[in-house]
Amino acid sequence: MARTYTLKKRAESQAETRRRIVEAAIELHCAVGPAQTTFSMVAERAGVQRHTLYAHFPDEQSLLLECSGLYSEREPLPDPAPWRGIEDWRERLRTGLPALYGWYERNARLAANVLRDAEQDPQVREIVTLRWGPTMAAYRDVLGDELSTAQRAMLHLALSFFTWRTLVLESGLKPEGAVEAMVQAVDCARKT
């Protein structure tokens, strides 16, 4: 009676189902944001029974975690490590900011939804802290180590998604214009 049974081909199709679920969830996160995304919606969009969803992801957090994992693998935040080699901090900023603003532009919808929902949903906030926190801290570290306190505050502002959105989407600056504006702003920031 007790017979061994190890998944081989079936493991693949199982992984495929799991991937379809995660993809569907990511699409919904882009469309309406994680907070508005229900298990029912994900199941329907993935073409899967709700049962199947619960089987793969016992709770929302595990699904969120896997979505954010796949997404940051596919569309990673710019790596600040190579910027360390740049001597002049202005030059460093003129390299780093366009990279970050480019990411914001490519991922504007998702970023807006996720940051919005993080404000009231602890689960989403946890994901943001986990996935974006360290990289953002690294940006501040690499780009701000020679700066004064006032300049660091301005750098923090320059790195914010909302700043990019305000300058580019609302004021209509080109990405390069936004970068140059914020480099100047950091440069000009003096002691209070």
Partner DNA sequence: ATATGAATGCACATAGATGTGCAGTGAAAA
Partner DNA sequence: TTTTCACTGCACATCTATGTGCATTCATAT
Residues at the site binding DNA, with contacts judged by CB under 7 A? 1-11, 13-14, 16-18, 38-41, 47-52, 54-56, 59
- The answer to whether 134 contacts its own copies (rule: CB under 8 A) is no
Residue 130 touches which member of DNA, its own copies, none, C-beta under 5-8 Å by kind: none
Residue nearer to DNA on the CB measure, 3 or 190: 3
Angle between helices 39-46 and 9-31 (to 10 degrees): 120
55, interface contact from DNA, its own copies, none, CB < 5-8 Å by kind: DNA
What is d(CA 21, CA 3) in angstroms, rounded to the nearest whole number?
31
The Cα 191–Cα 138 span in angstroms is: 23
Contact (CB, 8 A) for 119 and 35: no
Q: In the structure encoding, which two tokens stand for residue 157, read together?
A: 């502002």
Alpha helices in the chain (DSSP H): 9-31, 39-46, 50-56, 60-74, 89-106, 108-118, 122-131, 133-144, 149-159, 161-164, 175-188
Q: Is residue 177 at the binding interface for its own copies, with CB under 8 A as the rule?
A: yes
Span of 4-12, 66-74, 79-87, 146-154 interacting with its own copies by CB under 8 A? 146-154
170 binds, among DNA, its own copies, none (CB under 5 to 8 A by kind): its own copies
| Cα angle 71, 54, 38; round to 5 | 60
Q: Which does 94 bind (CB under 5 to 8 A by kind): its own copies, DNA, none?
A: none
Quick one: 17 or 148, whose CB is closer to DNA?
17
Q: Which residue has the tokens 């004064």?
A: 148
Of 98, 96, 162, which Cα lies nearest the Cα of 135?
96
> Which of DNA, its own copies, none does residue 174 bind to, with CB < 5 to 8 Å depending on kind?
its own copies
Half-sphere exposure of 77 (CA within 13 A, CB side): 21
Q: Does residue 90 bind its own copies (CB under 8 A)?
A: no
The span of 56-64, 78-86, 94-102, 109-117 binding its own copies (CB under 8 A) equals: 109-117
Site residues (vs its own copies, CB under 8 A): 32-33, 36, 112-113, 116, 119-120, 150, 152-154, 156-157, 160, 162-163, 166-167, 170-174, 176-178, 180-181, 184-185, 187-190, 192
